[in-house]
Amino acid sequence: MKPYSELTREELLELKKRLAAEYHEFQGKDLKLDMSRGKPSTEQLDLSMGMMDVLNSEMDLTCEDGTDCRNYGILDGIKEAKELIGDMIEVAPDNIIIYGNSSLNVMYDTISRSMTHGVMGNTPWCKLDKVKFLCPVPGYDRHFAITEYFGIEMINIPLDEAGPDMDMVERLVSSDDTIKGIWCVPKYSNPSGTSYSDQTVRRLARLKPAAPDFRIYWDNAYGIHHLYDDEQDNVIEILAECKRAGNPDMVYKFSSTSKISFPGSGIAAIATSHNNLEDIKKQLRIQTIGHDKVNQLRHVRYFKDIHGMVEHMRKHADVLRPKFEAVEEILENELGGLGIGSWTKPKGGYFICFDSLDGCAKEIVAKCKKAGVVMTDAGATYPYGKDPRDRNIRIAPSYPPLQDLVTASRLFTLCVKIVSVNKLLHEMDQPVPLQAGEN
């Protein structure tokens, strides 16, 4: 079929009638499908069940250094866990603190600490008239929720296939000392699947911020979450680049095993310079005596090393890959060549990013919901939930069973067609205003 923009009004009206009949059929199926969050499926969770058997009441729960993991102590995590996570994120163990199960919790704490006590002796943010953050878009809604919660002004930074618009980042960061940070998901970004280019990482590491307490919030959420063995994105290591550039303290690198082991029972970490670590530990010593060392030990004994972790992630990829490919095939078969949408084809991560015609995303998501498929709210991938062009939609293929995912994807493409046809008809019905000098 030719692009919708080339159809006549009569052709669009006839198409609208056929699409409405298809939609009515979907409504009759009483669907209750959820594609709203990037949660691992039950099949993926089952991959880690062996972790429940690596510790039992007969076992010695002592670390290599003699620490009894059942007791208090070791503020920054057991040595073995730091080595495991260090290999995963390409950082030396001495630059790491191991936390509980959630890296989002670590990010929240980092912002909160900056608000109340400042960063390495600088003025606490709560005492400043204004604090701003740069937000590459489309991006991760929970990042934006943290900074919004603390009343931090967020600035949209366009994200392309190489990463954030670095000309804009460099100009803003160097000229405005109220800009205190930038959110980054550098590999298989949520939701676009973008991975930052080497040049982007190096330019980030060489920033010359006006604010001495500016930090790059580097969320390494999908570092080993590849879909293919022979096609993998690689991102150069940011801490090493910052050190080379003379900015050793400029980055906080966050990670977790949330989508590797159990999302609710993994281990999270922050990696950063020794100066930053000492600053963080001042708060941590008050906040806790130590996180769950038994769980840290469980992860180490189950995975053993990074090779065990990589092999485990191949099993995750075997589950996820058919789902991503099914969604991409349906999008191509149903929407390819129609000129009413575009989408990413990521090599890893958890999302496919879809752009509709301008002004259509909210209506597409609402129409899906009305027929029984829940998706992430349109606009969620932008600060304050406001997509200025109302076109970006995050597709999360991971959680539903494959057959349900196929059904949901077909309904989604149908809703894209219906809303697009309505938009084009509406535009045809709008009188074109006269230009100056016309009669």
Q: What does the DSSP assignment read for 130-142?
A: --EEEEEES--HH
1 falls in which pLDDT band (50, 70, 90)? confident
Tell me the mean pLDDT in the region 243-252.
98
Proportion of the chain above pLDDT 90, given as a percent: 96
Proportion of the chain above pLDDT 70, given as a percent: 98
**For the chain, the helix, strand and coil percentages under 3-state DSSP, each to the nearest 5:** 45, 15, 40
155 falls in which pLDDT band (50, 70, 90)? very high
Tell me the mean pLDDT in the region 170-194.
97
pLDDT in tens, 316-339: 999 999 999 999 999 999 999 999
Distance CA 282, CA 65 (A): 24
pLDDT in tens, 369-401: 999 999 999 999 999 999 999 999 999 999 999
Distance CA 262, CA 101 (A): 9
* pLDDT at residue 439 in the model: 46
Amino acid at 187: K
Tell me the mean pLDDT in the region 283-296.
95
For the chain, the distance separating the N- and C-terminal CA atoms, rounded to the nearest angstrom, is: 38
* pLDDT at residue 142 in the model: 96
Contact at 8 Å (CB) between 41 and 398?
Answer: yes
- Say yes or no to pLDDT of 65 above 90: yes
All CATH 3.90.1150.10 domain ranges of the chain, comma separated, are 4-44+310-426
User: What's the burial of 422, exposed, middle or buried (CB within 10 Å: 0-12/13-18/19+)?
Assistant: middle
**For residue 71, how many other CB atoms are within 10 A of its CB?**
11
Tell me the mean pLDDT in the region 292-303.
98
* pLDDT at residue 429 in the model: 87
430 falls in which pLDDT band (50, 70, 90)? confident
Q: In the block, which residue shows the tokens 């973008």?
A: 194
* pLDDT at residue 51 in the model: 97
Distance CA 110, CA 119 (A): 9
All CATH 3.40.640.10 domain ranges of the chain, comma separated, are 61-304
What does the CA dihedral 388, 408, 312, 353 come to, rounded to 10 degrees? -20
Distance CA 305, CA 297 (A): 12
Contact at 8 Å (CB) between 143 and 110?
Answer: no
> What's 4-44+310-426's CATH class?
alpha beta
Structure tokens at 192: 């676009």
Structure tokens at 388: 């200025």
For domain 61-304, the question of CATH label 3.40.50.300 is answered with no
Distance CA 210, CA 166 (A): 16
Structure tokens at 136: 């590459």
The more confident residue out of 49 and 436 is: 49
Would residue 188 be called left, alpha or beta, if left means φ above 0 and alpha means ψ between -120 and 50 degrees? Answer: left
267 falls in which pLDDT band (50, 70, 90)? very high
Query: Average pLDDT of the chain?
Result: 96
* pLDDT at residue 432 in the model: 56
Question: Lowest mean pLDDT: which of 31-40, 223-232, 321-330, 406-415?
Answer: 31-40
Sign of the C-alpha dihedral computed for residues 380, 202, 188 and 108 taken in this order: negative
* pLDDT at residue 162 in the model: 96
Tell me the mean pLDDT in the region 171-176.
98
pLDDT in tens, 36-52: 889 999 999 999 999 99
128 falls in which pLDDT band (50, 70, 90)? very high
